[in-house]
């Protein structure tokens, strides 16, 4: 799980990054990042996380080699995995609540909760 990736699920968020009470986001440096869909089948989740990690390694290797095309392809593969995990694209919750992914927590309805963390 990277600090920006959010590939953990609600019950597996990293101890250093608090999760919102509703389990939709974790917070890094004050910014909300959408957690993966907790309803995903564990086999599906494992496959998507593996795909994401492979894509991240491909990004690293492409950058190291200066291969802009390969880097672009690797970023696209990472985006596909993140959409599959529910971290990007349409939200996985069904109550109609808006998506605050990548927003600063202090500028969202989570502001009071976030302020109380300090």
Predicted model pTM: 0.81
Using CB atoms within 10 Å of the CB of residue 10, give its burial: 0 to 12 exposed, 13 to 18 middle, 19+ buried: middle
CB of 100 closer than 8 Å to CB of 108: yes
Element at 11 (helix H, strand E): none
Residue 5 contacts by C-beta under 8 Å, 6 or more apart in sequence?
Answer: 33, 52, 56, 82, 87
Residue with tokens 């971290």: 87
**How many other C-beta atoms are found inside a 10 Å radius of the C-beta of residue 69?**
8
Task: Show pLDDT as tens, one digit a residue, over the chain (118 residues).
Answer: 343 344 444 444 445 899 999 999 999 999 999 999 999 999 999 999 999 999 999 999 999 999 999 999 999 999 999 999 999 999 999 999 999 999 999 999 999 999 999 8
| pLDDT at 86 (0 to 100) | 97
User: Which token pair is 117?
Assistant: 């963390």
H or E, element range at 32: strand 31-34
pLDDT of residue 1: 38
């Amino acid at each position: 799980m990277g600090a920006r990736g959010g590939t953990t699920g609600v019950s597996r968020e990293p101890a250093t990054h608090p999760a919102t009470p509703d389990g939709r986001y974790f917070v890094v440096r004050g910014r909300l990042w959408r957690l993966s869909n907790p309803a995903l089948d564990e086999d599906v989740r494992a496959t998507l996380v593996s795909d994401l990690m492979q894509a991240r390694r491909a990004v690293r290797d492409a950058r190291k080699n200066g291969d802009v095309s390969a880097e672009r392809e690797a970023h696209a593969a990472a985006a596909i995995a993140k959409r599959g995990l529910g971290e990007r694209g349409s939200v996985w919750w069904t109550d109609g609540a808006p998506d605050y992914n990548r927003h600063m927590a202090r500028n969202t309805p989570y502001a009071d909760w976030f302020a109380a963390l300090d």
